[in-house]
Structure 1
Amino acid sequence: MTALLSADVEARGLTGRILWTNGTPPPGAQANGEPVYVLIHGIGVSHRYLARLHAVLAAGSPTYSLDLPGFAGTPKPGRQLSVEDYGAYIAEALKSCGIESYVLVGHSMGVQFAIEAALCEPERVQHLVLMGPVVDSRHKNIGRQSLALFLDGLLRESPSSNWIVVTDYLRCGPRWYLTELPVMMEYPTEKRLANVDVPVLILRGSRDHVAGPEWSLRLSRAVPQGRLVEINGVGHVAQHMRPQAVADAIRSFVSATSRQN
Structure 2
Amino acid sequence: MPGGPAVVLVHGIGMSSRYLAKLHDALLPDAAVFSVDLPGFAGLPKPRGDVDVETMAAALAEVVASLDAGPVVLVGHSMGTQWAVELGVQRPDLVSHVVIIGPVTDVAHRSAGAQLRALSVDTLLETPGTNWIVATDYVRCGVPWYLAQLRPMLAYPLEERVALLTVPLLIIRGERDPIAGPEWCRLLRDRAPVASLVHIPGRPHNAQRSAPRAVAAAILAHA
Fold shared by both chains (TM-score > 0.5): yes
Separation in 1 of the partners of 2:153 and 2:50?
11
* Cα distance, 1:96 vs structure 2: 2.3
TM alignment of 1:66-215, pairs within 5 A: 66-154=36-124, 156-215=125-184
C-alpha deviation, 1:58, in angstroms: 1.2
Pairwise CA distance, 1:106: 0.3
CA shift, 1:127, in A, is 0.4
Q: Which runs of 4+ in 1 moved over 3 A?
A: none
Q: Distance in 2 between matches of 1:160 and 1:179?
A: 27
Q: CA deviation at 1:141?
A: 1.0
Separation in structure 1 between the aligned mates of residue 143 and residue 70 of structure 2, nearest angstrom: 35
Q: Which has the higher contact order (CA 8 A, sep 6+)?
A: 2
What's 1:58 paired with?
A: 28
Return the alpha-carbon distance in structure 2 between the equivalents of residues 94 and 200 of structure 1.
18
- Tell me the amino acid that sits aligned with residue 123 of structure 1: D
Q: Which residue of 1 aligns with 2:194?
A: 225
**Percent of paired sites with the same residue:** 49
Which residue does the alignment assign to 1:249? 218
Match of 2:9 among 39, 43, 53: 39
| SS across alignment from 1:111 | helix
Q: Which runs of 5+ in 1 are unaligned?
A: 1-23, 25-30, 255-261
> 2:77 corresponds to which letter in structure 1?
H
Task: Confirm or deny: 8 A CA contact 2:5 2:30 kept in the other structure.
Answer: no
Structure 2 alignment gaps of length 5 or more: none
Residue deviations 1:192-237 (CA, integer Å, cap 9, x gap): 1110011100000000010000000110111121100000001000
Q: In structure 2, how many angstroms separate the alpha carbons of the residues matched to 1:215 and 1:146?
A: 18
Higher fraction of helix: 2
TM-score computed with the length of structure 2 as normaliser: 0.97
Report SS of the residue matched to 1:104: strand
Whichever residue aligns with residue 240 of structure 1, its letter is: R
- RMSD of the alignment, in Å? 1.1
**TM-score, structure 1 as length reference:** 0.83
Partner SS, residue 213 of structure 2: helix
What's the offset of the Cα at 1:40? 0.3
Q: What is the aligned length?
A: 223
How far the C-alpha of 1:98 sits from its partner, in A, is 2.0
Residue identity matched to 1:60: D
Letter of the 2:82 counterpart: Q
Q: Amino acid of the residue matched to residue 104 of structure 2?
A: V
Q: Which has the larger radius of gyration?
A: 1
How far, CA to CA, are the matches of 1:141 and 1:94 in structure 2?
31
